[in-house]
Amino acid sequence: MAVSQTQVSPNDDQYSPIHGVYAAAVTPRRPGTQQIDLAASLDVIDFLNSHSLAGIVLQGSTGEFPHYDFEDRVRLAAFAGKRSRIPVLVSVAHSTLDGAVLLAREAAAAGAAGVVLMPPHYFRYEEPELRAYYLEFAAQVQDTPKYLYNIPFFANPLPVGLSVELLAAGAYDGIKDSSGDMAAFETLKAARANRPFALFVGNDTVFLKARSSGADGVVSGCAEAVPELMLGLERAALAGDTLRATALDTHLQQFIQWLLRFPVPVGIKAALAERGVPAGPLAAPLAPATLALLEEFRQWFRQWLPGILNAVK
């Protein structure tokens, strides 16, 4: 069945200030330091702005936020807000509530279109503590759009029931769900009948299925390296062109299978560098066998990319 724009985002103009393909940006680091390379970061932002993306998400998992101190993160958000011509959402993930609140206030002051909050990281927290954390954050950050961020691969999982509860209460404006769990997605989608909110998928493996089923869009690591592919897939999904969407999704899954062979976001950084946008040094050294595999990936990507760019014209 054809999927129309209205079917995909039934009340988009009423409730969702964000929709479409957002790129999860990498954060280049200055070699031999723990400092963000601002010049290289602005090159990344310029590259993303040169495409028709809906926006950018800074300092999420692809952006390797744990590596950087508070001041550097604030500085990047400020520079990005001035540089970008498309909306910028800022992940304010932190191990403490106070840190997340302060990052959110700084991001809002820098003109961010909204902030994205994952559960506090490293230490384990159960659902009652997560509820208290998110409610207190919402109470202290009231003047900017706020989005939940569930990424159980790297942080405490955000239970879908708690997400629905927070969204239904109006404490948050939407959610980026990176679990890849389509059952959870369906639960979130059904919850919009009671109170509309922005529903974004954050796992590229299920983007086509979720977008065709009612997601407002995607926050995509792949869109950092191959925005053309993600945008082409989006257009095909919205047009109801099942044949084209399936073909493009096959290409996307090939790319993802390569990325899964490396620590996050090694493959994204390598692909971006192949496109002439240096992404900075890796966080940790790779084993010799992995380095050899990475070189194989680079060669594959060089051969694969021209066909992708031609396919999405």
Task: Give the mean pLDDT of the chain.
Answer: 94
CB-based burial, 121-143: b 16+ in 10 Å, e otherwise: beeeeeeeebeebbeebbeebee
Domain count, the chain: 1
- 112-140 per-position pLDDT tens digit: 999 999 999 999 999 999 999 999 999 99
pLDDT for position 17: 60
pLDDT for position 313: 87
pLDDT for position 74: 98
- 271-294 per-position pLDDT tens digit: 999 999 999 999 999 999 999 999
pTM: 0.93
At 1, is the pLDDT very low, low, confident or very high (cuts 50, 70, 90)? very low
- 70-111 per-position pLDDT tens digit: 999 999 999 999 999 999 999 999 999 999 999 999 999 999
CATH code of 132's domain: 3.20.20.70
Residue 12 has pLDDT above 70, yes or no: no
Domain residue limits at 205: 5-311
- 192-216 per-position pLDDT tens digit: 999 999 999 999 999 999 999 999 9
pLDDT for position 91: 98
Reduce the secondary structure of the chain to three states and give it as a string.
CCCCHHHHCCCHHHHCCCCEEEEECCCCECCCCCCECHHHHHHHHHHHHCCCCCEEEECCCCCCHHHCCHHHHHHHHHHHHHHCCCCEEEECCCCCHHHHHHHHHHHHHCCCCEEEECCCCCCCCCHHHHHHHHHHHHHHCCCCCEEEEECCCCCCCCCHHHHHHHHHCCCCCEEEECCCCHHHHHHHHHHCCCCCCEEEECCHHHHHHHHHHCCCEEEECHHHHCHHHHHHHHHHHHHCCHHHHHHHHHHHHHHHHHHCCCCCCHHHHHHHHHCCCCCCCCCCCCCHHHHHHHHHHHHHHHHHHHHHHHHCC
- 46-65 per-position pLDDT tens digit: 999 999 999 999 999 999 99
Residue 13 has pLDDT above 50, yes or no: no
Residue 4 has pLDDT above 80, yes or no: no
Q: What percent of the chain has pLDDT over 70?
A: 95
Q: Across residues 293-297, what is the average pLDDT?
A: 98
Q: Please state, in angstroms and rounded to a whole number, the distance separating the CA atoms of residues 182 and 22.
A: 20
- 179-197 per-position pLDDT tens digit: 999 999 999 999 999 999 9
pLDDT for position 56: 98
